[in-house]
Each structure stands twice: as C-alpha cells, then as structure tokens.
Amino acid sequence: MSSFVGIDIGATALEVVIRKNDKNGAVKSYQQTPKDHEKLAAQLLKLDPACVVMEATGIYYLNLAVVLFNSGLKVSVINPNSFNHFAKLTLTHSKTDGIDAALLAEYAQRMTPRLWTAPDPKLLSLRDIGRQINRLVGRRTEAKNNLHALQAKDSTYQPLIDDELEGIEYLEFRIERMRNMALEIIANNEKLKQKLENLTAAVGIGTNSAIMIICELELLPEHLKSSQVSRFAGLDVRLTQSGTSINKPGRLSKAGNSYLRTALFMPALSAATHDANVRAFYQSLIQRGKKKMQALCAVMRKMLTGIWACLKLNTPFDSSKLFSEEHKKACA
C-alpha cells in the first residue's frame, strides 16, 4: 500500500504526517533549518512515498521543496486556496499545524496533485534579485513622496530634506547594483538575454520592469494559458452573482503574485500615455464608463497576455498585434 506525506510549513518549524492504509500517523516536528530539511529527506527516502504535499506558503516552502525534490522524492506544491476548499469539504472545523499536515496527507492521497519540478538555481537567484528591485523601487517612491511633503513647507528644517535626499540617492545606488547583478545572470543565458530584448521592445517597459517581469514569469510552466497567467498575477476578474449580491460589480481577485502586478503597473501607465495602440484601448474603456483604475488594470491584463506570448514564442512585443485598430477608430 502506498504512503502519502503532508507537510505543514511554518516560518520556524515543519509539521509532518505520514498517511498509510487510509490512516494518519503521529505528527512529527522539524525545524526550518537546512540540517532538518536533509534529515527529513533522508527519512522519507526510506519510506518512498507516492507523493509529498505542501502548500505554496510565502517563501518558506521553497528551500524544503528543493531539497526534497533533489533527493529524488515526488513533491507536489499546491495552491493554499485549493487546500482550503478541500478542508471545507472534509468538514474540518479545527485548525492546527498538526491537523493541517494530516489533511495535506489526505489531500495527497485523494486528489493526486500534479508533481512539482524544482527551478534552475540561477532562475531562483534572478527572482530574488527582481523582487529586491521591486521592494527598493517601492521604498524609493515612498522616500520621494516624503521629500515632496517636506519641500512643500517653507518651515521644514533643511537637514531633514538633506537626509531624505541622501536616502533616495542610496536607494538608487542599491537599485542599480541589483540591476547589474540581474543583467550579469541574463547576459550568461542566451534565452534570457533574448527575452529581455523582446520585452524592452515594448513602449513603457524599461530594463528594471522587464527584469522584474521575467524573473516572475520564467518560473511558470510553459503550458499555462494566458488566462491562467492572469490568474497567477491576480489580474483575473472575480464575479459575485448569487443571493442578494447578484448585481455586485466584478473586481480583480488580487489573490495572485503581487510582485508581478507591481512590476506591470508603471509599464501599463506609461504605455497608456505613449503607445498609440494602448492609449486607444485605454480611452475606449474610459468612454464606455470604466473608471481610470479599472481601465489601467485592463491594460495590465492585456499587456500580460502579450508578454506571455512573447516569452513563449520568442518574439518582440508588438502592441499592434495585441490591441485592435477598432479602438483607434472609436477614439478618432
């Protein structure tokens, strides 16, 4: 009889349950350390389970998943929303780490989830760098807003302004340093180098934005459809049409990758201003009564569709193939 393993991931500890003959074993705890990851992998290899299941919880699952995969175990990393639905179906009312681990083991047995493949280590490094650029750009924007507020008052103590300027300068230095690290990785990979050129062919997508977009999308399976990629980014529209909420307007799910949404925002805003095709699409939505942010999110979703096609087909981004000429006519 096959065995199945469920692992509940925490920031500092792991709870592991092994399921055999339709029964769950006792909960075993391990620390979130490389030593315990290797220890767990060695113990599970002796068991040779049919599947080891864990949730894609923040950043904490990845190191363990890579260790288990590299040791030869069959690993499945599932969406937390999928697991939550499963837990509701089993009518489980209590929630502890041990209970979650047991449910994950049962999920592995009953749902036969798709197996996970560890990404290339260099791609993982590129993703980490891209996310750091994302965070630093956000801090720089916040610092610039603070500087604007300080400079708006005549009574502001000048050293405060100087300190904010110094902070912005250092953030820009760090962003440039991260950018150069990413470009070095990309320069040593012809496929990534070509993909960077294809994306920066788009109006509005600069080098930093392209790096942040590539580092998130490059880790996705190539078989995904554009609608699935939009869902991954949290740019899919969630409708509520039941009971008293039947007329509630659709909203972005925002349940996906926030780093990717952030990376797409400024390129979409720039393209809606400077690219004739994108601008026509954006303005046509405004004319139809959409709010500016709704129209901009639609541009982000549309651009993501084009970006995904560029990465899969290895072709430069061309907005004329993505946005209809009818939008230009409507806005003429």
Structure-block tokens of residue 313: 């087909």
Nearest-angstrom CA–CA distance, 73 and 52: 7
Q: 107: which residues sit within 8 A by CB, 6+ positions away?
A: 6, 53, 78, 83, 86, 113
Q: Which residue has the tokens 């100087």?
A: 162
Nearest-angstrom CA–CA distance, 243 and 240: 9
Between CA 124 and CA 130, with CA 129 as vertex, the angle to 5 degrees is 95
Strands 28-31 and 13-20: antiparallel
Give the phi and the psi of residue 206 in degrees, each rounded to 5: -90, 180
Strands 237-240 and 248-252: antiparallel
pLDDT by residue for the chain (332 residues), tens digit each? 689 999 999 888 999 999 999 899 999 999 999 999 999 999 999 999 999 999 887 667 888 999 999 999 999 998 887 788 888 777 665 566 678 899 999 998 989 898 998 888 899 899 999 999 999 999 999 999 999 999 999 899 999 999 999 999 999 999 999 999 999 999 999 999 999 999 999 999 999 999 999 999 988 877 778 888 888 888 876 544 445 555 555 555 566 788 999 999 999 999 999 999 999 999 999 998 999 999 999 999 999 999 999 999 999 999 988 887 776 665 55
Nearest-angstrom CA–CA distance, 113 and 259: 26
